[in-house]
């Protein structure tokens, strides 16, 4: 029998409509799972009382209001990344400096999610100021991959991805500056989308000023991710730049069922960071290429050459962002990697930063030009399977830690530099049963195309039965699929 935590966000919406369950029942069930032992370190703060009150109100509305007039995901549980200020809820930013901070306002993305009728169960764990591709803050337990508790959930949306992969919530909000949605999606075996630059509103203070950071959905299914993106893009005019609207009247969810024309797909192995790609990760990309060819698309191989100009100048930009967030606070209370980035930012002049921005923009345009003959580009999401908890952290040598993180994230910076949408899908599995993400990148504003192709791949190479905590029958079907 399917249990409530196994239902997707859209399945929960349908169950509410049919009267099969209520938001209160679902929220109580998920909170019991979290409070009974959040072994994956998904949550830094659980807002149980607020969630139960919101669920009770959602149930009342569902009983007294025409369902057709409510948002698609009304009453569905979710979680907010702990970098987003949430009025009345502790928001630590992953830092001991903010261990007890309770904001009096909501960031834009939190308000948008509330308008969509989503119910947040709490704040998901992040590294300090989101400044690492692993999630091991001082204020909470490390975020771990649900597929192996000794492995990191990556970062910085590690807690969000772990919460979804462990079936603590069906969907969760993430944000992505250098791969912070897609790297955790890969490590936790979930779907993670970095939307086009400017698509999801950041509000008056919600953009980083360089165009790198975006908010995006994490989900177990492509359709849930699409429906969540529909919810996140209901406000217009709140951002500085908007991609062309291609979603149509029915939204991104509907795009999952749209017919896909024959596409030219570049299968690009390698990494702009220059780091070697693990053989099993490369095999996952090859498998995805074969699946797309089997679906009738024209797939051709292409090497992704190292691009030190892009990675080194992107690092200067990222360093400046972290330095600006940390500039006003006591450095002695910060993690070594954050102190290192802040010091590096202080040593860099405005002219050097401006030059790096120019180089990154030029290299981004060159990447788009080099792939102008492709409708989609598929690459490894990251260069390796999920790392072990503590493996990337190096407090004694944060410069070496930064180099190791750059090597691990590999190609993720391309999406942030170009502004193009990129989605990580759990399309590969290691010999140890660990998820291996494969990334699909489309042209600016073409989330509709990404969702249509991703839905087809989800059907061709399904992953739903692999999640820990599924029924024995479901796990057995996954084993049969592996053997066939």
Q: Would you state the pLDDT for residue 241?
A: 55
**pLDDT, mean of residues 212-235:** 95
Buried b (16+ CB within 10 A) or exposed e, 386-415: bbebeebbbeeebeebbebbbbbbbbbbbb
With residue 269 as reference, give the H or E element that holds it: strand 264-270
Q: Would you state the pLDDT for residue 1?
A: 75
Q: Would you state the pLDDT for residue 250?
A: 73
For residues 418 and 378, give the distance between their C-alpha atoms in angstroms, rounded to a whole number: 15
Handedness of CA 280, 220, 233, 250 (dihedral sign): positive
**303 CA to centre of own chain:** 25
464: left (phi over 0), alpha (psi -120 to 50) or beta: alpha
H helices of 348-446, in order, are 350-370, 398-409, 413-418
Active-site positions read: 81, 156, 180
**43 CA to centre of own chain:** 16
Q: Which domains does the chain have, with CATH numbers?
A: 4-483 (3.90.1300.10)
Q: Would you state the pLDDT for residue 322?
A: 94
Strands 376-380 and 119-124: unpaired
- Nearest in space to 97 (alpha carbons), one of 318, 340, 328: 328
**pLDDT, mean of residues 287-306:** 97
**pLDDT, mean of residues 367-381:** 98
Query: Looking at residue 428, what DSSP letter applies?
Result: E
**pLDDT, mean of residues 428-449:** 97
Check pLDDT > 50 for residue 16: yes
- The mean predicted confidence, pLDDT, of the chain is 93
Q: Please tell me the pTM assigned to this model.
A: 0.95
Q: Would you state the pLDDT for residue 328?
A: 85
Each residue of 441-459: pLDDT tens digit? Answer: 999 999 999 999 999 999 9
- Nearest in space to 432 (alpha carbons), one of 310, 281, 241, 323: 281
Rounding to the nearest 10 degrees, give the CA dihedral for residues 83, 236, 171, 376: -100
**pLDDT, mean of residues 240-244:** 54
Strands 264-270 and 298-304: parallel
Residue 156, preceding peptide bond in cis (omega within 30° of 0): yes
For residues 251 and 257, give the distance between their C-alpha atoms in angstroms, rounded to a whole number: 11
**pLDDT, mean of residues 284-307:** 97
Check pLDDT > 50 for residue 98: yes
Q: Would you state the pLDDT for residue 482?
A: 44
Each residue of 164-213: pLDDT tens digit? Answer: 999 999 999 999 999 999 999 999 999 999 999 988 988 766 678 898 99
Each residue of 462-482: pLDDT tens digit? Answer: 999 999 977 643 443 343 334
Q: Would you state the pLDDT for residue 237?
A: 55
Phi/psi of residue 257, nearest 5 degrees: -105, 5
Each residue of 29-70: pLDDT tens digit? Answer: 999 999 988 999 999 999 999 999 999 999 999 999 988 899
Please give the order of strands across the beta sheet that includes 171-176. 171-176, 214-219, 191-194, 422-429, 435-441, 376-380, 264-270, 298-304
Q: What is the DSSP string of 144-190?
A: EETTEEEEE--SSSHHHHHHHHTTS-SEEEEEESSSTTHHHHHHHT-
Name the pLDDT band for 236 (thresholds 50, 70, 90).
low
């Amino acid at each position: 029998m399917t249990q409530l935590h196994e239902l997707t966000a859209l399945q929960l919406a349908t169950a509410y409509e049919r009267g099969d369950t209520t938001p209160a029942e679902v929220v109580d069930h998920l909170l019991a799972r979290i409070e009974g032992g959040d072994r994956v370190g998904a949550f830094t703060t659980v807002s149980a009382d607020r969630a139960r009150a919101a669920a009770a109100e959602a149930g009342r509305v569902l009983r007294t209001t025409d369902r057709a007039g409510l948002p698609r995901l009304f009453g569905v549980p979710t979680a907010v990344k702990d970098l987003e200020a949430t009025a009345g809820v502790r928001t630590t930013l992953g830092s001991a400096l903010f261990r007890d901070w309770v904001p009096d306002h909501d960031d834009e993305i939190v308000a948008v999610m509330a308008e969509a009728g989503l119910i947040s169960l709490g704040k998901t764990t992040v590294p300090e100021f989101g400044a690492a591709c692993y999630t091991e803050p001082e204020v909470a337990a490390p975020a771990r991959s649900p597929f192996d508790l000794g492995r990191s959930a990556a970062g910085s949306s590690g807690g969000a991805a772990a919460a979804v992969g462990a079936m603590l919530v069906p969907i969760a909000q993430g944000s992505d500056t250098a791969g912070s949605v897609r790297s955790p999606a890969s490590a936790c075996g979930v779907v993670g989308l970095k939307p086009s630059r400017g698509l999801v509103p950041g509000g008056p203070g919600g953009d980083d000023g360089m165009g790198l950071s975006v908010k995006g959905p994490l989900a177990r299914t492509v359709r849930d991710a699409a429906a969540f993106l529909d919810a996140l893009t209901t406000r217009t005019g709140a951002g500085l730049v908007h991609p062309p609207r291609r979603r149509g009247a029915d939204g991104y969810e509907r795009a999952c069922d749209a017919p896909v024309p024959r596409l030219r797909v570049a299968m690009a192995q390698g990494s702009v960071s220059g780091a070697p790609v693990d053989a099993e990760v490369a095999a996952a990309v090859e498998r995805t290429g074969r699946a797309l060819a089997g679906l009738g698309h024209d797939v051709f191989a292409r090497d992704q050459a190292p691009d030190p100009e892009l990675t080194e100048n992107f690092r200067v930009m990222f360093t400046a962002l972290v330095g600006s967030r940390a500039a006003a606070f006591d450095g002695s209370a910060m993690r070594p990697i954050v102190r290192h980035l802040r010091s590096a930012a202080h040593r860099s002049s405005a002219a050097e930063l401006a030059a790096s921005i120019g180089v990154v923009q030029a290299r981004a345009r060159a990447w788009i030009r080099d792939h102008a003959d492709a409708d989609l580009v598929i690459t490894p999401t990251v260069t390796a399977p999920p790392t072990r908890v503590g493996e990337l952290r190096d407090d004694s040598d944060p410069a070496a830690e930064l180099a190791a993180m750059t090597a691990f994230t590999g190609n993720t910076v391309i999406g942030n530099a170009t502004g193009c949408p990129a989605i990580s899908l759990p399309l590969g599995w290691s010999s140890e049963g660990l998820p291996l993400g494969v990334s699909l990148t489309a042209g600016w504003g073409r989330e509709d195309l990404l969702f249509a192709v991703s839905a087809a791949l989800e059907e061709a190479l399904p992953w739903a039965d692999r999640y820990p905590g599924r029924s024995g029958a479901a796990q057995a079907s996954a084993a049969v699929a592996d053997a066939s």
